[in-house]
Amino acid sequence: MVENTQSVVSNIIKIRNDKRLGQQEMAESIGVSTATYSRIESQNVALTFDTLAKIANAFSMRVIDVITYPEIYTNDKGNNTPTKVIVELDISQNEFIKMGLKEKVIQVLNK
């Protein structure tokens, strides 16, 4: 679901209040004047992605979590499919055998 600017700004205000931060603290954290920060929250100044990223950083949050607040975004979707990882080893045949990898590979191949 795509959020509009108004709901993102509403989320910013909610998070700021939940974290008990004032507009002055937020302004200092993102490097703008208190008046500019106030205009961001009142939507008199456009919320750019750069500013949103700075605000998320000030909250110690990811941008996506500010957008979806109070939900925490996850792309898991309940899918517990394991991730396949391919590893290439640069070792000699003797090292391969000493590490016991030969037996493990044979076990995997026999399954």
The pLDDT score that the predictor gives to residue 102 is 75
User: Which DSSP helix (H) or strand (E) runs through 41?
Assistant: helix 34-41
- Count of the separate structural domains present in the chain: 1
CA distance 56 to 30: 10
User: Which residue numbers in the chain have pLDDT < 70?
Assistant: 1-5, 75-89
Q: Which range of residues forms the domain containing residue 11?
A: 5-68
Nearest to 11 by CA among 23, 1, 3: 3
In a domain, 25, yes or no: yes
CA distance 32 to 16: 16
CATH number of the CATH domain containing 17: 1.10.260.40
pTM metric for this prediction: 0.64
In a domain, 35, yes or no: yes
The pLDDT score that the predictor gives to residue 2 is 44
